[in-house]
């Protein structure tokens, strides 16, 4: 059975998400803003940044988010900008016809049904 740890949350994801949204709203950013490209941008940045897991509780997530913002905002901005450059040069949906997964839980459920082992 594939399990996601719902008790733990990587707060870095939230910071990367916020900053990616901010950057993509900037008028001089020339990149495809589809869900797939946006996800690719966030993944690129997340893979360069340290994960910061906290227990999934609103208070903890928000207080850790503030700390992360102070410590990592510059790094996150740098990696998201770098990601925008890399992904705009080579968006994954143009080079291959990859179907994007909208609902990860449904996908994992279906995947489990096939009986394959990851």
Q: Which residues bind Zn ion (CB under 5 A)?
A: 32, 34, 37
Q: Which is nearer to Zn ion, 29 or 34 (CB)?
A: 34
Q: Which is nearer to Zn ion, 34 or 101 (CB)?
A: 34
Q: Which is nearer to Zn ion, 1 or 26 (CB)?
A: 26
Distance CA 98, CA 107 (A): 14
Helix axes 58-89, 11-25, angle to 10 degrees: 50
Determine how many CB atoms are found less than 10 A away from the CB of residue 22.
11
> What's the min distance (Å) between Cβ of 97 and Zn ion?
13
Distance CA 47, CA 43 (A): 6
> What's the min distance (Å) between Cβ of 104 and Zn ion?
19
Q: Which is nearer to Zn ion, 18 or 36 (CB)?
A: 36
> What's the min distance (Å) between Cβ of 17 and Zn ion?
17
Which tokens hold the place of 117? 């082992």
Q: Which residues pair with 55 in a beta bridge?
A: 8
Determine how many CB atoms are found less than 10 A away from the CB of residue 110.
10
> What's the min distance (Å) between Cβ of 89 and Zn ion?
12
């Amino acid at each position: 059975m594939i399990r996601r740890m719902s008790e733990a949350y990587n707060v870095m994801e939230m910071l990367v998400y916020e900053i990616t949204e901010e950057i993509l709203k900037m008028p001089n950013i020339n990149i495809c803003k589809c869900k797939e490209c946006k996800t690719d941008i966030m993944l690129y940045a997340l893979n360069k940044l340290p994960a910061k897991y906290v227990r999934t509780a609103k208070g903890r997530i928000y207080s850790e988010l503030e700390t992360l913002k102070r410590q990592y905002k510059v790094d996150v901005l740098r990696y998201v900008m770098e990601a925008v450059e890399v992904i705009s040069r080579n968006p994954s949906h143009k080079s291959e016809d990859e179907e994007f997964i909208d609902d990860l839980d449904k996908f994992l459920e279906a995947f489990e049904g096939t009986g394959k082992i990851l």
